[in-house]
Structures are given as structure tokens and as C-alpha cells.
Structure 1
Amino acid sequence: MKPTRAARRPLPGSPFNRPAAPLPPVEQFALQDRVSHDKYGLGLVIGVEEDVAVLVDFGTEKLRISAPYPKLFRL
């Protein structure tokens, strides 16, 4: 039988007890915005789901890109 380990309690003066940094706000896109994607190239926003996803027409294909859009930039 293995001995159980007690959970470590955080020390009050430890520099590692800092709260996590808040996430940056999600970029907002509007209909008809011109965008550029690192993989798919230039596109046009044709649909917006608030803080969830955007639908982008890249000419050859239409893709739904989920937030937080790391590779999508407004032109």
C-alpha cells in the first residue's frame, strides 16, 4: 500500500502565487471586413458569431474560424 501525499499548501510570500494574467480581449470583426490569414491568404468576412467565430470567404473556400483568431488579421 502506497502512502498518500498531503497536498502542498501555498506559501503566503511566494512569488509563484500570483494570479494568472487576464486574457486579452477577443478582436471584433464586422461583416465585409477584409482580412488576411497566415495559411489561407486574403478573405472577406461574410458572417459573425459574437465572441465565438467568424465565417470568412477566401475565394476558393469558405471557412469558419473560431475565436481567439490567432492567425487572422484585419486589413
Structure 2
Amino acid sequence: MPSSRGSRPKHLPSSPFKPAAEPVVEVFEVDDRVTHDLHGLGRVVRVDSHAVTVDFGSQTVRVNHPYSKMHHL
């Protein structure tokens, strides 16, 4: 029976394999200093429910969730 899309199978305690780690989602606030793999250093200027807007000096970019290429400094 196929599982629903995006769901994980239940981890059994008797399984010899470790359970999959939950991804860590970073939370950003206005004025946080960040670094982005493509755009470089910047400062968060706006936070929405699914994205943040970051001023990188030469351009302002809206970065969508899950922010895999962006990190706090």
C-alpha cells in the first residue's frame, strides 16, 4: 500500500536503523545579520510568514522558506 506523499513511515523501536533527523528551521528577525551562499552578507529588513526580505547592499532579495542557503552570523 503506497504511503501518502511527504509522510514518513513510522520508526519502530526494534529497528536497527536510526530515525531520520528532523530538519532544523532557522528563525530570522528584523535586523539580523545573515550570510547567503549566493548573495553574500546582508541584513534582514522584513519578515513574512513564508519568506524574509534581506538587504545585501547592492540588491534586496526575498528569500523563501526553508532558507537552506542562508545562515545567521
TM-score (norm 2): 0.70
Is 1:45 the counterpart of 2:13? The answer is no
SS in 2 for 1:65: strand
SS in 2 for 1:43: strand
Question: What runs of 5+ residues in structure 1 fail to find an aligned partner?
Answer: 1-8, 11-17
Question: What runs of 5+ residues in structure 2 fail to find an aligned partner?
Answer: 3-7, 11-19
Question: Number of residues paired by the alignment?
Answer: 59
Question: What is the one-letter code of the residue matched to 1:53?
Answer: A
Question: What is the one-letter code of the residue matched to 2:37?
Answer: D
Structure 2 match to 1:5: none
Structure 2 match to 1:71: 69
SS in 2 for 1:29: coil
Q: List structure 1 segments (4+ residues) > 3 angstroms apart after TM superposition.
A: 20-23
TM-score (norm 1): 0.68
- Displacement after TM superposition at 1:24 (Å): 1.9
Question: What is the one-letter code of the residue matched to 1:30?
Answer: E
Structure 2 match to 1:19: 9
Structure 2 match to 1:59: 57
Cα RMSD (Å): 2.2
C-alpha distance in structure 2 between counterparts of 1:19 and 1:49, whole Å = 32
